[in-house]
Structure 1
Amino acid sequence: MNNSIRTLWPAAEAGRISAAAGKIQRALGRCAATYPGLYRAEAFDPALQSTLADALAHSAPWLDADRLMMAGKASFWAFGLDWLVDYAADSQDDVDDVVRRCLAVADGGRPADDDDLARFLADLRDELSAAPAFPALRGVWRDELGRMLAGMRTEWEWKAARAEGRTDVPDLRRYLANADNLGFTFVLVSHWVTICESPAPDDVHGVHGIHGVLAAASEVQRVIRLLNDQGTYRRDTVWGDLNALMLDTHEAVNEALARHTRRARELLAALRVDQPDLADFMERQMDFCAGFYRVTDFWGEL
């Protein structure tokens, strides 16, 4: 470790960030105990909760654990959803059933008592509904949930086609256009609801309002999708998941990563004028992933 890094991370600051991460991790552990049917797979090991909490605490070190808690719980819920769609679903009907149950909850429905995925989502929805910004952002939250579910459904179809040797698998461009399946933007909007006051009527569609936030988040999401794929290629090969490196060369993936990273930073710089906390949170998430996926990924072993 060089001297500049030692200067940037004094021990007291590291301790404060670690304390926030610890509180988030304990909350995620309580979620796993509350919705046990969703997290029974061995891949949901304690390290997943720990690294997820660390990612959030380091992405917004100016926020305490309470202000980051919704992002943590929404991320953890999305991991459970991803497991059910990518690994537990045996058929298109299984995937469609997951999508139907989640959208019903988003539209105000009550889940079945034995449906831990829908129960967790309903609890997130109810918690978000108490936030001052939720009336203005509820439609955005519902739309981003729908996009994530649609993206997961599309990727499941692509995986099935690839497994069957069919040719209707995507190229890299189409694959990245479906990056909503990652869930970053859904989590970002959930986080935004809890940390901001209701947007003013004239600050909804402009570059610094909802439109600008979503444009930046979508680009960051593509960057994280590529960083994730570079770091999880071996696991994806074993688990039968789809990965950008299965669709194009390393050179093409690296070029796409550089291009989307440049565009993401441009959009974040524009957004930072009026939304500095969200812009910094997204940029730090992107940079955290750049370091994190060089070493490991979130999932435990099967």
Structure 2
Amino acid sequence: MPQLVTVADELRQAADHGRVCALAAQGHRDLQRGLAAHPALFAAEGPFDATLTSSIALAIAFSAPWCDAAELRLTNRAVLWGFALDWQVDRLATSAAELDRLVQGQLLVADGAPAATTDPLGQFLAGLRADLAAVPAFATLGGAWLAAVERTLAAMRREWHWKAGVRDHLRPPPTLAEYLGNADNLACTVVNVAHWIRTGGADTPARLDRLVVASDAVQRALRLVNDLSTYERDLRWGDLNAIMLVDDRSVVEQDLTRLVGQATDLIDELRADCPREAAYLARQLGYTTGFYRSTDFWGVS
């Protein structure tokens, strides 16, 4: 006989949802302050509206509901940096030379150089790096974060050149395997590394390599989750999308099933000695999959 859900059960469940939403509300307000502090970067006519920042805060709060707002502040801002970087690479960089300057500037700032006063994206990253560098674990794990930043920038640059080559009829589009191998352009693992530096314990340095492997698997799956939901928008914007690289959408759907299985296996392997990190990755994968069934983070058509 099925067990009946009591009113007390519903009250507890609703109270827990309310607590997580309150955590997201705090994150949303902080992100809005971040937007207000960088008006040259987050222009009102761009995609950086209140819906984007609330969506980011909700995603992070539901991925790590055991954290408090102070712990998630850096993670939220790391996600926002990823969106700002993606926008500048995809929509604002009009030449290879301009792209190279953008990438090189971000690399220098991530490595500790001061941002130029004419570089609003660099200034935002400098603030993020300063917050991260204030965490004691950064002394040991800062190199891992810098490596993740480098991978993200290289992947975004690579996709830019892929799109330019296809647009100008200089090269065929990448294969689906090549495209998935470039999933760092989603800027998921770079955020996760920052999150673990900020919230991890004394054993995080010994486990970070394994966490990154699992995060990369989640990132590849989420690359396809994103593409299956944003195909029409990507067509309008002239962006690459996994569906464009195959003859049948079902190929991407089948690949997503395979990638989710791989990610799930890796997460399960972490549960014994990294339970909180494993839960974070599982919730990240599940929440984002559910989110993209109905809407998108970007607020522009």
Aligned to 2:233: 235
Aligned to 2:288: 289
Is it true that 1:130 corresponds to 2:134 in the alignment? yes
Mapping of residues 206-217 of structure 1, within 5 Å: 209-217=207-215
In structure 2, C-alpha distance between the alignment counterparts of 1:11 and 1:198, rounded to whole Å:
34
The residue matched to 1:38 in structure 2 has which SS? Answer: coil
Alignment partner for residue 35 of structure 2, among 32, 37, 40? 32
Aligned to 1:88: 92
Aligned to 2:57: 53
Q: Is the 8 A contact 1:133 1:199 kept in 2?
A: no
Letter in 2 for 1:224: L
In structure 2, C-alpha distance between the alignment counterparts of 1:117 and 1:198, rounded to whole Å:
32
In structure 2, C-alpha distance between the alignment counterparts of 1:139 and 1:182, rounded to whole Å:
20
Mapping of residues 174-193 of structure 1, within 5 Å: 174-193=178-197
In structure 2, C-alpha distance between the alignment counterparts of 1:198 and 1:139, rounded to whole Å:
17
In structure 1, C-alpha distance between the alignment counterparts of 2:164 and 2:203, rounded to whole Å:
42
Aligned to 2:201: 197
In structure 2, C-alpha distance between the alignment counterparts of 1:167 and 1:103, rounded to whole Å:
28
In structure 1, C-alpha distance between the alignment counterparts of 2:100 and 2:276, rounded to whole Å:
36
The residue matched to 1:301 in structure 2 has which SS? Answer: coil
Shift of 1:186: 0.2
User: Deviation per CA, 1:31-51, whole angstroms, max 9, x where unpaired?
Assistant: 111111211143112100111
User: Deviation per CA, 1:59-108, whole angstroms, max 9, x where unpaired?
Assistant: 11121222111110000011000000011110111111111101111221
The residue matched to 2:60 in structure 1 has which SS? Answer: helix
Is it true that 1:23 corresponds to 2:22 in the alignment? no
Letter in 2 for 1:31: G
In structure 2, C-alpha distance between the alignment counterparts of 1:72 and 1:27, rounded to whole Å:
9
Unpaired runs of 5+ residues, structure 1, are none
In structure 1, C-alpha distance between the alignment counterparts of 2:66 and 2:202, rounded to whole Å:
21
**Identical residues among aligned pairs (%):** 42
Letter in 1 for 2:111: D
Q: CA RMSD in A?
A: 1.7
Aligned to 2:161: 157
Shift of 1:191: 0.4
Mapping of residues 93-172 of structure 1, within 5 Å: 93-172=97-176
In structure 1, C-alpha distance between the alignment counterparts of 2:271 and 2:136, rounded to whole Å:
22
In structure 1, C-alpha distance between the alignment counterparts of 2:272 and 2:135, rounded to whole Å:
24
In structure 2, C-alpha distance between the alignment counterparts of 1:281 and 1:38, rounded to whole Å:
30
Letter in 1 for 2:109: V
In structure 2, C-alpha distance between the alignment counterparts of 1:233 and 1:128, rounded to whole Å:
35
Letter in 2 for 1:245: I
Unpaired runs of 5+ residues, structure 2, are none
Q: TM-score, normalising length from structure 1?
A: 0.93
Letter in 2 for 1:229: D
The residue matched to 1:10 in structure 2 has which SS? Answer: helix
Letter in 1 for 2:61: A
The residue matched to 1:295 in structure 2 has which SS? Answer: coil
